[in-house]
Amino acid sequence: MRNDPMAVMNPPIIKTKTNPPGLLADPVAPRDLISIHDLSPAEVLSLFNLTSMLKQRPAEFRGLLAGKQMVMFFEKPSLRTRLTFEAGMDSLGGSTFFVDQTASRLNARESLYDIAHNLERWIDIIVLRTFSHAVVEEMATYAGVPVINALSELEHPCQALADFFTLQEHFGDLKKVHLAYVGDGNNMAHSLLLAGASVGAKVSIATPERYGLNPVIVTMAKAIAEETKASLRILNDPRKAVAGADAVYTDAWASMGHEHEAEARAAIFAPYQVNAALMQFAKPHALFMHCLPAHRGCEVTDQVIDSVNSVVFDQAENRLHIQKAILVWLLGSGVGRFPARSAHAHA
């Protein structure tokens, strides 16, 4: 559910003993972070400001979430997502419980309704990494505590927010940035389109015809772009997408759950490989971006991912900082800030 963007344009300073000087007041954040669309454009930029403070002055925020507890249910393997959430929560003084669901789905033994009502009595926040986006939405509907989407087949909001924060660090004004994405029209492409629309950037996405974006996501992004004056282009030609880009982004051609299609996709996606020849269409300073893990020699060549213009490890580092900001946003000093679940309408 979107909130009034004006409510976070000029947030007051919190003046309490538990918050360091200069900490922004808790923005009027959504109850859950399920999609980039849950954040207004102003809230995205406010989140970036908070992320910058957490990154620059981490010592001042130690203990901010002392006593808070986070549980993570992961149906898919993880390196960056798991460790950055765990390290982030620990550095803020909170504690984490990890539940490995890679052997069975989260709702295989018990209904999500029952799981949610158990968790809300023990835990302050729930982080889910699932195959089905519906699982994340259903958990958010039932649980009386915030739920974060740490990846579903539809979106990867934490990664996309970290990516645009990285672009802001390198270029400043995101309204002047052109991001080109080439490859599969997957969860990463969806969240990048929504995030780019929210910050007013130019986003060009090129996919093979049969592997395009979810039309509902495209419609949502275009509606945001009308508000922010972002420029969105949905194409099939990777060279047209990359032409004049400030950053070129790609992802695995066969995402988790589609590994059995890898061989068939390899031939279809070959023209979308990010190599030196494709990068020539971008601006000379163009950055290379990838959410990782990368399949070297498939969607990207070693020459590109190991180049001086590659910022893949900047992106990975910023997963830590953006997720700390999300946790502070949802769990910070605002005691009683969220309505009771009976009053919460999840959009």
Point out the residues that are catalytic. Answer: 129, 156, 159, 251, 291, 319
* Cα 137 to Cα 142: distance, rounded to the nearest angstrom: 9
**Angle formed at CA 163 by CA 204 and CA 226, multiple of 5 degrees:** 45
Asked whether 65 and 92 are in contact (CB, 8 A), the reply is: yes
Asked whether 289 and 313 are in contact (CB, 8 A), the reply is: no
- The CA–CA distances, whole Å, from 20 to 17, 60, 69, 333 equal 8, 6, 21, 12
Cα 298–chain centre separation: 24
Strand partners, 97: 71
Phi, psi angles (nearest 5°) of residue 76: -125, 150
Q: Which of 309, 305, 276, 308 is nearest to 291 (CA)?
A: 305
* Cα 202 to Cα 192: distance, rounded to the nearest angstrom: 11
Query: What's the first-to-final CA gap in the chain, in angstroms?
Result: 5
DSSP string, 88-104: HHHHTT-EEEEEE-TTS
Q: Sign (positive/negative) of CA torsion 31, 76, 328, 35?
A: negative
* Cα 332 to Cα 26: distance, rounded to the nearest angstrom: 7
- Relative orientation angle of helices 133-142 and 112-119, to the nearest 10 degrees: 50
Tokens 């090129």 belong to residue: 206
What helix, strand, coil percent values describe the chain, rounded to 5? 45, 15, 40
